[in-house]
Each structure stands twice: as C-alpha cells, then as structure tokens.
Structure 1
Amino acid sequence: MLLLFLFMTAILVGRRSLVGSKFANSMVLVLCLLPQLSWSKQIVTYAWAASMSNDERGHYPIALLKLALLKSGENFEARPSKISMPQWRTLRQVQMGKELDVVWTMTNPEREEELLPIRIPIDRGLLGWRLLLINANQTQQFANLTAPNELRHLRAGQGHDWPDYPILLANQFKVSPSSSYEGLFEMLKRGRIDYFPRSVMEIDVELQAHSSLDFRVAPNWVLYYPAPLYFFVKKDQIKLAAAIERGLLIAMKDGSMRTLFLKQFGAVIAQADLKNRRILKLDNPYLSSATPLQHRELWFSPALGF
C-alpha cells in the first residue's frame, strides 16, 4: 500500500510538472526516499545455543516469542544471536544491553531484580511439574515409597546455580549440587544421587539423549512447585516488554498460544499421565509477590490438560 501511494503521488506530481523532465525528477526523488519512508523492522535478538539444533525444547520459546511480537501490533522482528551462548552469559548480555534483547528462563528474585520480567508463564508453569529420573534397578524401590518423607530421605541432584536447588532445600530435601549439567547424569549413573527431578517438558528428550544408560522415570510420584518461565528484557526496554506482554495476552485469547503449546507438549503431557500420579506439592519461597498465582488461566492443570 505504501508503494502504491508513493507511486500515485509521483504521478500527480508529474502531471503538475510543466515538462517531462520534472516528472522524471519527481519519480527519482520518491524512489530515493523509499528506504526512509518505509516502516523498517526493529530487530529483537534472542539467544541461540548450539544445543537447540538437536533439542526441540528450545523451539517453543522462540516460536512463542515470534507469535507474541506478531500479535503485538508493533514492527518487531525476532532474530537469533550470531554466536552460541550459555545461559549465564545470556542473562548478563541482556542486563547490559549488549548483543541480546530478550531471554527466557525460570524466574528467581535475583533475575527479577536485574532484568524486567514479563510475568506470563510462557510454558504455563509446566517446568515446575517434575518427574524423577532414576536408575532402572531402583524402580521397585521408588514404587514402594508410600510417604513424602521417604522420598525426602533419598538424595536428589540439581545444578548448583539453578533456582530449583534452593527450592528443594527449603522443602527439606537432600540435594547434591553439581556445576555440570551432564555431570548430574553421571552422578545418577554412579549412584551418588538417587534421582534427578526433571520437568515433564525435559525428561523424555533427556531419556533419548542418554539412551545408552539404563535410566527410567520413577513410578507413582510427581513433584510440583510454581516455577514460572518468563521472557526477560533489559530494565529500560519498557516498549519491548509491553509489546511481548500484549502479544502473549492476545495469543492466549485467540487460542493460538494453546495450539502452539499443545503441539509442542501435548504428547509428553499425555505420556506423563499426571492425573494418575501422586502429586507432592512443594512451596516456592523464592517467588516475587507479583507472581500471578491467582490467575489460574495462566497455569497448566493436569485435570484440564492445558
């Protein structure tokens, strides 16, 4: 439409010109102004990690970010970073306003202090539904557990800088920390930990990635604690945060977020069979008072499947 308008403007200018050369000059002027007059895209850079190439867990936040920006009505365009980055660096880069504009991660007080959260759980809180990864030879032991305290007396493993680590400690669980993600699978294999709590959205992919190891999902139990996964931007990026929030709310209302969510996670949710597991609900004392826990429409429910 903009090109058509400018073309018609040039014609009108040309008709008013006394000689043909003036019409030609008008056309040249209009064409030269096109780059300045067009509504150029504002690039929003998100973190790309090499592991995303073979791990579909990273595809959903990217697709949702693009959907939210499209629905926002603003002229933003999401693009990946040029280099792969670990999570600790992505948080720092967004905070400093260098290389990255947006990141998604599980929230905690420090992250909400340093960055600006968009307080809509992009995974509907599914990250907080934790199945237990165990060695196959311990399946019967876990099947025989009858009380939460029996599970607390066994040893879990978590990343030392993950928000989950202090949450489990606050709920009186025995937890061994590790500075290495892959190191946790090695700890489980060697029996240094009894189980490794993993999100419903993670555990199936991780079982496949470690198929050479004799791991299983423990029967009967699932841990749950509110663990919002938010988009975060730099503190002063108010316009971008507002656009992402607006786009997410529109996508929720028109059903497009639901469609995307179920396409990505519907099968693993069904396979987890959460409705028939014993749910051990834990407190998350590290949530901000601004966490929208009262808005049930934002959170996953096993009873509803969404």
Structure 2
Amino acid sequence: MRLWLIALFALCCLWPAQAKTIVYQRHQAKEDPQLRYVTAVLELAIRESGVAYSPRISALVMVQSRGLDELRRNTGLIDLTWTMTSAQREREVLPIRIPIDRGLIGWRVALLKQHRLADFARIDSLQALKRYRAGQMHDWPDTPILRSNGLKVDTSDQYESLFKMLAAGRFDYFPRSLIEVREEWLAHAEMGLAVEPTLLIRYPAALYFFVSKQNRQLAADLERGLNKAVREGKLQALFEQHFGSLLKELNVSGRRVIELRNPLLPPQTPLQRPELWYRPGE
C-alpha cells in the first residue's frame, strides 16, 4: 500500500497542472485594431511568467467603462481588460504598470474628411487646433484630457457611430493613436476618410492590463512575465514587429507636435524607466 501511494504521489507531481482560464474583454470595435498585438503581448507575458494560463475572449461585447466595472465588482464575467490608465481607474481596479503600448496610446494623429486636409496642414499650435471639434467615446480618458487642454470634444456611447459622425461632418477630426489609426482607416475605407499626414497630438499616457483587486495573483504573475520580457528585449521586439514599419510610414519624427497635459495621469506611472517607453529613432 505504501509503495502504491508513493507511486501515485509521484505521478501527480509529474502530471501537468491544468491551465487557468483568463477571460479578457471583447471591445466594441468590429475589427479591434489593438487585438492582435495585445493578445500577443498577453501570450508573451503568460509564457514568461512560468504559470499555466489559457486566455480566451469574452462572449459579451462591452464598452470600456462596463469592462472596468465588471472588474471592480469582481463579477467573474471577465478577468482582464486593457485600457488607458487614469488615477480613478487605478483606485477602482488593479493596474499592471507596464505600458504594453510603450506610451503610444497618447500619440495621436487625426482621422478626418479629405477636404479638411488643407485646414489641418496649417495648424501649428494648440490655439489653432482649438478652432476645430474632436470626436471621442464618452467613457474614454482622452475626452477629459482633450477638454482640460481647451479643446472642443463631441462624444458618443457607440464606437462605430464616431466614424459615421465624422463622415457626416458632425465634428472635424477623430484623434486616434498611432497603434490604431491605420487599421481603423482601412476598416472604414468606404467613408472617404484620410489620415492627416503632418500633425502629432501628444500627451503622456499608458495602456495597461487591468485585473480585479481580488485577483492579485494574476496581476503578480503577469507583471513578472512582462518585466522579464522587457529585461530580455522580447516586448520591445514584439512591438517592433507589429509597429516598426507603421511608425516609419506615419513619419512620426517629421510631424509638427502639439504637446498636451494629462491631468489624469497617476503619480505612480513609471516614467523613470526609459526602457518602457517608445523613443523615435530607437
């Protein structure tokens, strides 16, 4: 009997642990421009963490605020989302403070109607930009950031409606991050929109993974995996693989830059770690 128990114990130790499921948020976009890259980052973080997790997308489509509320209430509907950080969001849910976008969520170029290109080619200051109306989602941190800098913003509670509103002339431009704009432009090619080629609107921001405050082990595992990926250059390599040619194509270093303040940026943002942030020409 004793030998049988020893053999059974040894077998259990050798049997691989069943992977824990991570359910991540399904966003509103028909073709989510961040999804391929962010899921690749999540899979990299899992591999580097050394813990067996199996990620899958949620069945239910949610706006950002709904996903964050599910995590805040720890309902179990989702385990993880990714979104721009803010002080309020970090009070309510648990951030993993590695900017998976390397800060580019705050580097914005304008989607606009073709006939507006000449107008925006003449913009050379924040004051000049204030003449035009931007469009954003009602629950995105970008909305109060833009407004706090004196910019006019119209909002919608439906992501796809913003493209229709832009095409219909309800507002003048839709500021989109460098990691989103090309996919969004291609997905709405029939609307006659253009990517403005001369201007960059920039504010300090970070795209993080967020989990429930009751799921600290998941946060610790993913943070460990991401930090290991950064130390070994794997996150930077994945970023370059997805966005290197795009950033050259968008001529980031050749654009006129309008710098904005971000009053929502938490003081814990790891700005002192240069290896986490994108720098043109690196």
Give the TM-score normalised by structure 1.
Answer: 0.84
- Give the alignment partner of residue 274 of structure 1, picking from 230, 252, 271: 252
Which has the larger helix fraction? 1
The CA deviation at 1:99 is 3.1
For 2:60, the aligned partner's letter is S
- Residues 234-271 of structure 1 show CA distances to partners (whole Å, capped at 9, x for unaligned) of 11322221221111111011111112111111222111
The CA deviation at 1:89 is 3.2
Report the 3-state secondary structure (helix = DSSP H, G, I; strand = E; otherwise coil) of the residue aligned with 1:79: strand
For 2:238, the aligned partner's letter is L
Partners of 1:101 and 1:50 in 2: how far apart? Answer: 14
- Give the alignment partner of residue 102 of structure 1, picking from 77, 80, 84: 80
> Which residue in the other structure is 1:18 paired with?
none
Partners of 2:85 and 2:32 in 1: how far apart? Answer: 22
- Give the alignment partner of residue 164 of structure 2, picking from 186, 191, 198: 186
> Which residue in the other structure is 1:20 paired with?
none
Greater shift, 62-71 or 167-176, is seen at 62-71
Residue 197 (1) aligns with residue 175 (2): yes
Query: Any residues of structure 2 matched to 1:1-306 within 5 Å, and which?
Result: 13=3, 26=4, 30=7, 34-35=11-12, 38-49=15-26, 54-55=31-32, 57-73=34-50, 75-81=51-57, 83-86=59-62, 87-97=64-74, 98-304=76-282
Is the 8 Å Cα contact of residues 94 and 101 (structure 1) preserved in structure 2? yes
Q: Alpha carbons of 1:112 and 1:154: their partners in 2 closer, same or farther (altered >3 Å)?
A: same
| Larger gyration radius, structure 1 or structure 2 | 1
Report the 3-state secondary structure (helix = DSSP H, G, I; strand = E; otherwise coil) of the residue aligned with 1:133: strand
Report the 3-state secondary structure (helix = DSSP H, G, I; strand = E; otherwise coil) of the residue aligned with 2:179: helix
Is the 8 Å Cα contact of residues 45 and 99 (structure 1) preserved in structure 2? no
The CA deviation at 1:155 is 0.8
The CA deviation at 1:140 is 1.1
The CA deviation at 1:33 is 7.6
Partners of 1:273 and 1:153 in 2: how far apart? Answer: 25
Partners of 1:256 and 1:67 in 2: how far apart? Answer: 8
> Which residue in the other structure is 1:7 paired with?
none
Q: Alpha carbons of 1:142 and 1:172: their partners in 2 closer, same or farther (altered >3 Å)?
A: same
Partners of 1:274 and 1:135 in 2: how far apart? Answer: 21
Is the 8 Å Cα contact of residues 200 and 255 (structure 2) preserved in structure 1? yes
Partners of 2:70 and 2:60 in 1: how far apart? Answer: 12
For 1:108, the aligned partner's letter is S
Report the 3-state secondary structure (helix = DSSP H, G, I; strand = E; otherwise coil) of the residue aligned with 2:83: strand
Is the 8 Å Cα contact of residues 116 and 232 (structure 1) preserved in structure 2? yes
The CA deviation at 1:51 is 6.5
For 1:88, the aligned partner's letter is S
Is the 8 Å Cα contact of residues 128 and 224 (structure 1) preserved in structure 2? yes
Unpaired segments of 5 or more residues in structure 2? none
Report the 3-state secondary structure (helix = DSSP H, G, I; strand = E; otherwise coil) of the residue aligned with 1:267: helix
Partners of 2:256 and 2:176 in 1: how far apart? Answer: 16
- Residues 142-174 of structure 1 show CA distances to partners (whole Å, capped at 9, x for unaligned) of 112233311111111111111000000001111
Unpaired segments of 5 or more residues in structure 1? 1-9, 14-25
> Which residue in the other structure is 1:4 paired with?
none
Q: Alpha carbons of 1:37 and 1:247: their partners in 2 closer, same or farther (altered >3 Å)?
A: same
Report the 3-state secondary structure (helix = DSSP H, G, I; strand = E; otherwise coil) of the residue aligned with 1:212: helix
Identity among equivalent pairs (%): 40
Is the 8 Å Cα contact of residues 26 and 58 (structure 2) preserved in structure 1? no
